[in-house]
Amino acid sequence: FETIPTAPPDSILGLTEAFKADANPEKINLGVGVYKDAQGRTPVLASVKEAEQRILAGQASKSYLPIDGAPEYAQQVRDMLFGDRHPLAASPRTRTVHTPGGTGALRVAGDLLHTQLPGATLWLSDPTWANHPAIFEAAGVATKTFPYFDKASNGLAFDAMLDALRKIPAGDAVLLHACCHNPTGVDPTPEQWRAIAKLLAERRLLPLVDFAYQGFGQGLDEDAAGLRAICDAVDELLICSSFSKNFGLYNERVGALTIVGATPDAAEAALSQVKVCVRRSYSNPPAHGAMIVTTILGDAGLQKQWQAELAAMRDRINGMRRLFAASLDKRRVALGGSDNSFITRQNGMFSFSGLNKQQVERLRSEYAIYIVGSGRISVAGMTEANMDRLCDAIAAVVK
């Protein structure tokens, strides 16, 4: 392997490796999007622990799952995405494949695009999750970008986005973050979603919806408003979803690729091709995480307990947003140009802070504070205990 050049560390997971190696006892990791509680721990949810006990007690076999996973899991995924009374939840036009995490779903979607729609370009928001272009490049799918973030207002560049979408050739695919846009935290309003959905239909573009944070924005149903608006407007789409964040099942790798076809036959054909891609890649999915999700969502008591745990995670993050903005205000630091109120308007785990590469680098080298190079800060890793140190360091690097 002497001729193999060393690859650079991953821009997000590589930070965790560097953080672990840092000897500074006051170090703070606000890189990767992983929820931490007020004590800085990433707990196993109580509903998950209970479900695991039930699974262990009742498990009779560890034989392979089907290539596309268990049908009960697929149904639970659809009920959560669409709402259990939505016609698509039980329609033969809708097929779901259990994948190893949301990343696995994206890669399988990439394999499907590459093998079955080889001329299609995939359009990504600028900016987007750092792994998106890499996943699709690895699958052999060409990518381009459309404007998304307006730096001046720290909001959505809605008009520029729509103008760009209008110019995309029919038949291309467009990746949209269903909620809690990663990295900006800026989401379209329900009205803007309807306009986007109408345009996708008019232009005959294939939506690929990445839904990794359902429940971390406003709530499980509220966060699905964009997806459901798209489903009302178009008759074909792909959805990549994940239970890493909302069930805290990060290392169980539990996600799904859902295909909505214009007809049951079209959905069935797409599913058959997805199964070919899966068989050639990882053969069939890992069972345990999906069993946890199925057990919780299939039991009214556990489901209620999980929803309360999810709401508590969301509320803690929103509390940290307010404290972060107030702590910066107190130090007379305005990351948004004039103030910090934009931080409290962003959704999900991240704050797109506006800090530049040099400032991010100084936070790391001088203060052992780890955030992503784009200036994305994981609010989910902030605590009352690390807030003053964080804001003092930010004040020092921006002045």
Residue 15 Cβ vs ligand LMR, minimum distance, rounded to whole Å: 9
Residue type, 155: G
Residue with smaller CB distance to ligand LMR, 20 or 62: 20
Residue type, 88: L
Q: Tell me the C-alpha distance between 144 and 202, whole Å.
A: 20
Residue 288 Cβ vs ligand LMR, minimum distance, rounded to whole Å: 19
Q: Tell me the C-alpha distance between 237 and 261, whole Å.
A: 7
Q: What are phi and psi of 301, to 5 degrees?
A: -65, -45
32 near ligand LMR, judged by CB under 6 A: yes
The token pair at 66 is: 């089907």
In the complex, which residue's CB is closest to ligand LMR?
A: 33
DSSP-based three-state secondary structure for 156: strand
Using omega within 30 degrees of 0 as the cis cutoff, is the peptide bond preceding 127 cis?
yes
Binders of ligand LMR among residues 107 to 126 (CB under 6 A) are: none
Q: Tell me the C-alpha distance between 120 and 255, whole Å.
A: 24
Spatial contact of 367 and 393, defined as CB atoms under 8 Å apart: yes
User: Residues with Cβ < 8 Å from 49, sequence gap 6 or more?
Assistant: none
Pairing type for strands 369-370 and 28-29 reads parallel
Binders of ligand LMR among residues 256 to 285 (CB under 6 A) are: none
106 near ligand LMR, judged by CB under 6 A: no
Residue with smaller CB distance to ligand LMR, 82 or 250: 250
Residue 129 Cβ vs ligand LMR, minimum distance, rounded to whole Å: 5
Distances (CA, A) of 239 to 164, 288, 293, 355: 22, 22, 18, 32
320 near ligand LMR, judged by CB under 6 A: no
Task: Please tell me the count of residues contacting ligand LMR according to CB under 6 A.
Answer: 6
Binders of ligand LMR among residues 169 to 188 (CB under 6 A) are: 182
Residue with smaller CB distance to ligand LMR, 217 or 261: 217
- Looking at 149-230, which runs of residues are DSSP E strands? 149-150, 155-156, 173-177, 206-211
Residue with smaller CB distance to ligand LMR, 205 or 212: 212
Selection from 254, 250, 364, 366 nearest residue 9 by Cα: 364
Residue with smaller CB distance to ligand LMR, 129 or 211: 129
Give the residue numbers annotated as catalytic, written as ranges.
129, 210, 245
DSSP-based three-state secondary structure for 175: strand
353 near ligand LMR, judged by CB under 6 A: no
12 near ligand LMR, judged by CB under 6 A: yes
Residue 343 Cβ vs ligand LMR, minimum distance, rounded to whole Å: 18
Pairing type for strands 173-177 and 122-126 reads parallel
370 near ligand LMR, judged by CB under 6 A: no
Residue with smaller CB distance to ligand LMR, 32 or 237: 32
Selected binder of ligand LMR within 28, 33, 239, 320 (CB under 6 A): 33
129 near ligand LMR, judged by CB under 6 A: yes
Residue 357 Cβ vs ligand LMR, minimum distance, rounded to whole Å: 18
Residue with smaller CB distance to ligand LMR, 82 or 129: 129
Pairing type for strands 122-126 and 143-147 reads parallel
Binders of ligand LMR among residues 238 to 257 (CB under 6 A) are: none
Selected binder of ligand LMR within 96, 131, 246, 295 (CB under 6 A): 131
Residue whose pair of structure tokens reads 């929103």 in the numeric block: 318
The footprint of ligand LMR (CB under 6 A) covers: 12, 32-33, 129, 131, 182
